[in-house]
Structure 1
Amino acid sequence: MSHHAVNRLAIPLCAALVCAAAPASATPILDSDLASFTVLGASTVTNVPTSTITGNVGVWSSGGANAITGFAPSPPNPVADPQVTSGLVHRGTALAESAQGQLTTARNNLASLGSGTPLAADLAGLTLTPGIYTVPAGVTNLSGTLTLDGEGNANAAWVFQMPSTLITSPNSNVDVINTGSGAGLYWNVGSSATIDVNTTFLGNILALSSISMNTTATDHCGRALADTGAVTLQQNSLSGICSDFLAGSDGLSGGLDVTGSQVDFLPFSPVTPTSVPEPGTLALLGFGLATLGLALRRRPLKIGKRAEAG
């Protein structure tokens, strides 16, 4: 075969190999622009100061400057506000517009996971391992404490499909245990969410319509993201940057990856245990410190006696 014939065969073959070797890349369930917002409304964001928000606050709305109240006025836009750290207040910016589109996509991707395990309306008193759960509407969906146990998986993820509303009772609580920085927690709400007075909530609320955070309700690791309606804040604390063992989880937005139209749970990754000294080591250390302290107390006395003798 001539060199020209070989070249004619090699060129299309190389092109085919290049195309075949370029798989679709995976992205987080909350894409980067959306993940930068801790509070995002479609129509308005209303705040009764003083709230504490870590991450961007924004709205994509034709309401312009009037679409956000209770934060620093605009212009400039985006604008800094003392209630907002590690972020800015966005009124109809390009970033807010992009995030709003990514929110719709995220809600659809979560819905594609299916209904999972059906539960009763009130989650209080349950301890749930990672997975997908469907929770029907009720007078309340949380009247006490819900515990989410990651079972030692740093990439643990929970998805709650709420076909209608998400409602918590006053002083209710969500606890996440035995997981790490790759964890994710998502509340996919079919209409509106109401987080009642003094509730200590966790996770990302992705609501089709509106989200109301009643007085002093908190979400110390998560977001309030409204797809078509408003977000109402009343002296709340919300953070897309977590602390303690959830630090680095980017507001509990891990656990899931999206490749094309496929949503997958991340593989198991063991939680790295915190090193704790053995009891015998602690006792030996304590004895050594006590001995050193006794020696230091005696030394000045000996020096003084030598001085008197001189």
Structure 2
Amino acid sequence: MNAQTASTTRSQNVVPPVAEEDSSFIRNYRRLLASLGLVAIACAVSSAWAQNINLGMAGNFGVLAGSAVTNTGPTVVTGNVGVWPGSSITGFPPGSIVPDTGFTHHADPVAQAAQSDLTIAYNDAATRVCGTTIAGGLLGAGGATTLTPGVYCMGAGSLNGTLTLDGAGVYIFQMASSLTTASGSSIALINQASACGVWWQVTSSATLGTTTAMAGNILALQSITLTTGATVDGRALARNGAVTLDSNNVTACSGGPATPVPPPVAIPEDVTNVPTLSTWALLMLAALLPMAGFVAMRRRAG
């Protein structure tokens, strides 16, 4: 091989520095776009969906109290009726449990295990990161009328008229004090929203007005009172106080469980009030990032 041939061969194998930089830039840019796209999609999914609350043994109960269960009239409960550490269950009959769905449990190991699992579920619901604060705690007429899946927090919660829950997923309502409903108020479930994915975490007590049509699981730290004719498509579970019933229907939720998916990425404890994009904005961002990268690379190549 003569000197000219060797020189030609070496020159063919040498990559110009600018080409190396361009190639490295393109590789790194593609990696960045892929990472940002995945993060955007993950954030969009986690903002629309959350892991459902796990009731454990408490899920077998339609009514569970800490001190006593008292009933008046022809109440019908789907699932177990129990109390622990108290032992008093009165009014069954005339109240009844739907055949083959449960029994009464007076301060027995089954009720004790259910109360233990209720405590875990209650704490889970209470510590979920609040996504939206409901001004004045007003739900239905005069307040929030239609909500999508998410975590909603308020002081004292009150329902008047109809609150519509729109879409499949998990709805968690965190009450810093009480929950009350006006007579004849209701929860409407549309577009695959399920009562099994609706949670009312009440720091004190819950009272449902006459003929209220409630949907979801009521987890109260103190007591729960269902006045005459109120119905619950869900459960009435009180940790420390009593559950008082009066000609009610408690169905232990219907419509199947809410779709479970991995929980959202935890936010560091020292980060608060971080603004977030909407689900659709995040999905749009995930779609536009690759397009922006493609345009940038075409311009650089030109």
- TM-score (structure 2 length as normaliser): 0.65
Distance in 2 between residues matched to 1:161 and 1:46, nearest whole Å:
26
Task: Tell me the residue number matched to 2:156.
Answer: 137
RMSD of Structure 2 on Structure 1 (CA):
2.7
Task: Tell me the residue number matched to 2:184.
Answer: 171
Equivalent residue letter for 1:217:
A
Equivalent residue letter for 1:201:
M
Question: Which one of 65, 68, 72 corresponds to residue 41 of structure 1?
Answer: 65
* 1:257 positional shift: 6.9
Distance in 2 between residues matched to 1:83 and 1:222, nearest whole Å:
15
**Percent of counterpart pairs with the same letter?**
44
1:229 lines up with 2:241 in the alignment: yes
What is the SS of the residue equivalent to 1:34? helix
Consecutive unaligned residues in structure 2, runs of 5 or more: 1-50, 267-278, 280-302
8 Å contact 1:38–1:239 — kept in the other structure? yes
Consecutive unaligned residues in structure 1, runs of 5 or more: 1-26, 74-80, 263-267, 269-310
Distance in 1 between residues matched to 2:149 and 2:126, nearest whole Å:
17
Equivalent residue letter for 1:210:
S
What stretches of structure 1 move > 3 A for 4+ residues in a row?
81-85, 180-183, 254-259
Deviations along 1:111-152, whole A, 9 cap, x unmatched? 2212220012221141000000012226xx1111000001xx
Distance in 1 between residues matched to 2:228 and 2:170, nearest whole Å:
28
* 1:208 positional shift: 0.4
Q: In the comparison of the two structures, how many residue pairs are matched?
A: 212
Distance in 2 between residues matched to 1:188 and 1:53, nearest whole Å:
21
Task: Tell me the residue number matched to 1:68.
Answer: 89
Distance in 2 between residues matched to 1:257 and 1:227, nearest whole Å:
27
8 Å contact 1:192–1:209 — kept in the other structure? yes
Return the structure number with greater helix share.
2
Higher relative contact order (CA 8 A, sep 6+): 2
Task: Tell me the residue number matched to 1:217.
Answer: 230
Distance in 1 between residues matched to 2:178 and 2:195, nearest whole Å:
27
Distance in 2 between residues matched to 1:58 and 1:227, nearest whole Å:
11
8 Å contact 2:52–2:170 — kept in the other structure? no
8 Å contact 2:222–2:239 — kept in the other structure? yes
1:55 lines up with 2:79 in the alignment: yes
Distance 1:142 1:95, change over 3 A: same
* 1:28 positional shift: 5.9
8 Å contact 1:54–1:238 — kept in the other structure? yes
Distance in 2 between residues matched to 1:182 and 1:137, nearest whole Å:
21
Distance in 2 between residues matched to 1:217 and 1:58, nearest whole Å:
20
